[in-house]
Amino acid sequence: MYRIVQKKILNPTVTLMEIEAPLVAKKAEPGQFIILRVDETGERIPLTIADFDREKGTVTIIFQIVGGTTERLNHKEAGDFIQDFVGPLGVATHTEGLKKVCIVGGGVGCAIALPIAKKLHQQGCAVTSVIGFRSKDLLILEDEFRAASDKLYVMTDDGSYGRHGNVCVPLEEMFAEGETFDQVITIGPLIMMKFVVAAVKPTGIPCVVSMNPIMIDGTGMCGGCRLTLNRDGEKITKFACVDGPDFNGYEVDFDEAMSRGAMYRDFERHAHEEACNLFHKEVK
Amino acid sequence: MTKPNMSLKKNPMPSQEPQVRAHNFNEVATGYTEETALDEALRCLSCKNMPCVSGCPVNIHIPEFIAKIKEGDFEGAYRVISKTSSLPAVCGRVCPQETQCESKCVRGIKGEPVGIGRLERFVADWHNAHSGEVPETAPSNGHRVAVVGSGPSGLTCAGDLAKKGYKVTVFEALHTAGGVLVYGIPEFRLPKAIVQKEVDTLSAMGVDVETNIVIGKTLTIDELFEQGYEAVFVGSGAGLPNFMGIPGESYKGVYSANEFLTRSNLMKAYESDPVTPIMKGGRVAVVGGGNVAMDAARTALRLGAEKVYIVYRRSLEELPARREEVEHAMEEGIEFKLLNNPIEILGYQNPDDRRDPKNGFVTGMKCIRMELGEPDEKGRRRPVPVPGSEFTLDVDTVVIAIGTSPNPLIKSTTKGLEVNRKGGIVVEEATGATSREGVYAGGDAVTGAATVISAMGAGKAAAAAIDEYIKGKEA
């Protein structure tokens, strides 16, 4: 059992939890993920590590409430326990030798982008961050990003905060002005990452994307998290849990990843409603 | 002594009727009664040279335990088995006895061999139902050994070392102990309660089982040595599933057998209101001819599929699955498409609506008929496609059960651990010793996908070698 040390509501659909998991905290690196089960009958879900404190022995996760499991998790409070918490899994984001990087985060993906920005910033890399949200009330981690970035662009789709527009707007402006980076790292919804890759492509700057497909075991056993890379005209199957979650954005078949990601959409919607109803009943 | 039973036939295994069991997840075979067990035991001639024992990878003293059954001392029989086997209730169910102990039985020369596996299962089930007795362990010798993975090889190794007085910790990556016995083999062939019972017995013998620890990630093998473990056994099991490399394998509805079975077995997707989803019903094609393929096909049927095919590129004769599993699958109504090879998986694409929710789901599988040609270097006749014989199988789920490649996590984080071209850990066969001192390995992590009992044999051999290694260091 793993204790929830702290819980913070970041916005109506996004919650932060700090979990006591000393062995995971000891090894965790930005870009890696964990798998958790909320309770004994729960499903296994992967969540990327948002922060970790090796001394305290805690790992922070930030999650969006999308399905039954995240709904159940969100009903846990500080001091409560979750059943299973395993990691750190996946390959850490490569940061060595990078001097100038642009981080592009979208929505709850910003939670994963932040530790990477922090690590790069700490190692003296110049960090430009572009973070985007649908609207002002979904904004998270602005201050944290400001502290970890040399330059920060905050975007909202509806213009209710920061600049109006999606994350590609400032990217394209920067490129038009001749700005360049060693690498662009983007984390967010698949559709956003697809467009970021398209925006970066003309510059030839390497573009890393963080994939978050459906997983079961997360340890390289089931193959559910497979995705297709197009490398030199050849299709290659990779597994996000052991080969990723970071991949070369130019190679990823995003359309396929989006299709596969939606496989259980109806099931998830139903599970979320069920979980909500259950909690409503409990409240009554 | 009672007169031997000279019947040429084994006592049949009582089973659920095919039409009934095809729709539930309860165990197919229901097991011998005391009377049947006694009757079957009397078929054993108690041969002095015990040929059957040489056929058992863990050397169970077969005539000795059968003699106890004849005496009606079922707990005594259990004690004999548990001296050499840590998982009797499991082996009695999933071992391919027909190619092991029973293939050496003298009674098999003229008639059917003694139903050794059925008797083993009876004894183990009798013990589980009537006795909480824990196998004897030697007094603690103060030495600590780490076991990576709680599948059949790891549990066997842990059990044998615990009996010798070692303090053993088993590290399991998943949330439940049992490895392939819980995520892979379905409930109807091996009830999960039985696996749990075997794990509980090990715990009662002083073995610690730590779940949620991925060796190679959470802890490395070097760190285990730093923590004071004097030897490590790696039984991390099969790894990433193989795919065929044909177009369409990423369509929704295409599963690896590992994923399909993990969803159903470990995550209980077969329950009526599961939290982990799986595609239920419809028409299913399972590609492959091994035991895993049979398990996947029979699971699909029980999940409510209206039609299930096994698609295999060779003929019935070459099917690698156990005969009994093949027969069970056929009885339950699974259709075998033999000498057929998939060449493409077809998916739905609405040309007018990119947002059509049906887009990307499987609609069929294109296959080609095969015929057996010249024998290959192993003497198996190579299947060759029959030109122009392509056809489409109308299915909406495809499960690919064509094997796995070893898991890369341990080799990539353990310096000096030699692996072969396929990624399997290189070991000395008799001992399981790897290229790293104090590190032993066995089971699928070494051999690639194989059987439960061969993994147990490897775990057993490694336990003996580890014992010798640690004692040798002391001397």
pLDDT value of residue B281: 82
Cβ <8 Å between A221 and B249: no
pLDDT value of residue A268: 77
B240 and A CB contact within 8 Å: yes
Cβ <8 Å between A223 and B259: yes
Q: Which of B212, B243, B259 is opposite residue A224, by nearest beta carbon? A: B259
pLDDT value of residue B250: 92
Mean pLDDT, range B452-464, rounded to an integer? 92
Mean pLDDT, range B340-349, rounded to an integer? 96
pLDDT value of residue B413: 87
pLDDT value of residue B35: 96
CA distances in angstroms from A272 to A21, A39, A224, B304, listed in the order given: 27, 16, 22, 24
Instruction: Give the chain A residue whose CA is nearest to the CA of B267.
Output: A43
Domain B144-239+407-474, CATH number (from 1.10.630.10, 3.50.50.60, 3.30.70.360, 3.60.21.10): 3.50.50.60
Q: Chain B partners of A19 at a C-beta cutoff of 8 Å?
A: none
Across chain A, what does the average pLDDT equal? 92
Cβ <8 Å between B357 and A265: yes
C-alpha–C-alpha distance, residues A152 and B87, integer Å: 60
Q: Chain A partners of B237 at a C-beta cutoff of 8 Å?
A: 221
Mean pLDDT, range B213-231, rounded to an integer? 96
Condensed to tens digits (0 to 9), the pLDDT of residues A91-130 reads 999 999 999 999 999 999 999 999 999 999 999 999 999 9
Does residue A245 have a cis bond before it (omega within 30 degrees)? yes
ipTM for the assembly: 0.90
pLDDT value of residue B176: 94
Looking at chain B, the whole-number percentage of residues with pLDDT higher than 70 is 100
Condensed to tens digits (0 to 9), the pLDDT of residues A140-184 reads 999 999 999 999 999 999 999 999 999 999 999 999 999 999 999
Q: Give the mutation candidate from B214, B251, B266, B278 for the A interface (greatest A CB count, under 10 A).
A: B214
Q: Per-residue pLDDT for B248 more than 90?
A: yes
CA distances in angstroms from B8 to B103, B108, B243, listed in the order given: 15, 8, 45
B125: closest CA of chain A, how far (Å)? 27
Q: Per-residue pLDDT for B1 more than 60?
A: no
Mean pLDDT, range B27-47, rounded to an integer? 95
B144-239+407-474 matches B244-402 in fold: yes
Mean pLDDT, range B4-29, rounded to an integer? 92
DSSP for B158-203, written as a single string: HHHHHHTT-EEEEE-SSSSTTTHHHHTS-TTTS-HHHHHHHHHHHH
Q: Say which amino acid occupies A152.
A: L
Answer whether A212's CB lies under 8 Å from A245's CB. yes
pLDDT value of residue B375: 85
pLDDT value of residue B42: 96
pLDDT value of residue A262: 82
B416 and A CB contact within 8 Å: no
Domain B244-402, CATH number (from 1.20.120.420, 3.40.50.300, 3.50.50.60, 2.30.30.760): 3.50.50.60
Q: How many CA atoms lie within 13 A of B277 on its CB side?
A: 20
Cβ <8 Å between B262 and A265: no
Spell out the domain ranges in chain B.
18-130, 144-239+407-474, 244-402
Mean pLDDT, range B88-111, rounded to an integer? 91
Mean pLDDT, range B455-470, rounded to an integer? 94
Q: Per-residue pLDDT for B76 more than 90?
A: yes
Predicted TM-score of the model (pTM): 0.91
C-alpha–C-alpha distance, residues A209 and A244, integer Å: 10
Mean pLDDT, range B165-194, rounded to an integer? 95
Q: Say which amino acid occupies A108.
A: V
Quote the tokens at residue B279: 């595609």
pLDDT value of residue B243: 93
pLDDT value of residue A284: 61
Mean pLDDT, range B152-156, rounded to an integer? 95
Q: Per-residue pLDDT for A83 more than 80?
A: yes
Strands B391-393 and B362-375: antiparallel
A223: closest CA of chain B, how far (Å)? 6
Q: Give the mutation candidate from A222, A268, A278 for the B interface (greatest B CB count, under 10 A).
A: A222
Looking at chain B, the whole-number percentage of residues with pLDDT higher than 90 is 77
pLDDT value of residue A282: 64
Answer whether B51's CB lies under 8 Å from B63's CB. no
The DSSP call for residue B54 is H
Condensed to tens digits (0 to 9), the pLDDT of residues B263-299 reads 998 888 887 777 788 888 899 999 999 999 999 999 9
Cβ <8 Å between B213 and A86: yes
Condensed to tens digits (0 to 9), the pLDDT of residues B396-442 reads 999 999 998 877 788 888 999 999 988 899 999 899 999 999 999 99
- Using an 8 Å CB-CB cutoff, list residues of chain A that contact chain B: 23-24, 27, 37, 41-44, 68-69, 83-89, 216-217, 219-224, 226-228, 237, 239, 242, 253, 256, 259-260, 262-268, 271
More confidently predicted of B458 and A66: B458
Q: Is domain B18-130 annotated with CATH 1.10.1060.10?
A: yes
pLDDT value of residue B274: 78
pLDDT value of residue A283: 62
Q: Which of A23, A89, A216 is opposite residue B263, by nearest beta carbon? A: A216
Instruction: Give the chain A residue whose CA is nearest to the CA of B179.
Output: A221
Q: Per-residue pLDDT for A257 more than 60?
A: yes
Q: Which of B214, B243, B258 is opposite residue A222, by nearest beta carbon? A: B258
How many residue pairs from chains A and B have C-beta atoms closer than 8 A?
112
